Amino acid sequence: MAKICLSKGLTKLLRGKPVIIITTFHPTGIVNAGTFGAYTNLSPTEVGIAIGRPSHTYQNIKRTGELVLNVVTRPLALAAEVCAEEIPPTESELDKAGLHSEPSRKVKVPLIKECVVNIECQFLKELEIGYHSLVVVKCLAGHIEEEFLAEDGGLDVVKAEGVVNIAYPRPLYAVLAQPFLAK
């Protein structure tokens, strides 16, 4: 398995809206990892994510301006559940979930090695909506396992088995299957 780096059309790497684990830095330098599914692509380079303002992820993004989106595939669904647990900022969810970090290219926050797609991002703006903020981020660099790169430079989410949660907060997940051309 080898990842290739991309600099254009980065939101195509989130096709099918798979669950993501967002990595950020705590003030201590410990890597925080939180699980998120309520997001949408806004443009070829911008994503909007609904993030609870009390979360470590939100607070870290506001403090450092940096984050990495890491796509969850079938073998990592349990790890995504572990990253959704509330643990103190003195510990990293990555260790608890059996995941490993790797240096990013454009931001200081590391990416998750085991995820088939990683997108390095910087904070742009937010819109407060009740408990959450719609956090708009700009994608700076992308990484994808070569075998899951579709012909047009996007993620082949069916082959990669990117997961969606279909009964939140129950840990019930599904993968996209049976693609067809509507013609």
Q: Kindly state whether residue 16 participates in binding ligand FMN, applying the rule CB under 6 A.
A: no
Q: Kindly state whether residue 35 participates in binding ligand FMN, applying the rule CB under 6 A.
A: yes
Q: How far is C-alpha 110 from the chain's CA centre?
A: 12
**Residues 65, 36: Cα–Cα separation, whole Å:** 18
Among residues 36, 137, 140, 154, which is the contact residue for ligand FMN, using CB under 6 A? Answer: 36
Q: Which is nearer to ligand FMN, 73 or 149 (CB)?
A: 73
Which amino acid belongs to residue 110? P
Q: Kindly state whether residue 127 participates in binding ligand FMN, applying the rule CB under 6 A.
A: no
**Residues 96, 92: Cα–Cα separation, whole Å:** 7
Angle at 111 between CA 13 and CA 27, to 5 degrees: 130
Using left for φ > 0, alpha for ψ between -120 and 50, and beta otherwise, residue 130 falls in left
Q: Kindly state whether residue 45 participates in binding ligand FMN, applying the rule CB under 6 A.
A: no
Q: How many residues touch ligand FMN (CB under 6 A)? A: 20
Among residues 10, 84, 137, 155, which is the contact residue for ligand FMN, using CB under 6 A? Answer: 84
Residues near ligand FMN, by CB under 6 A: 19, 32, 34-38, 50-52, 55-57, 80-81, 84, 86, 132, 165, 168
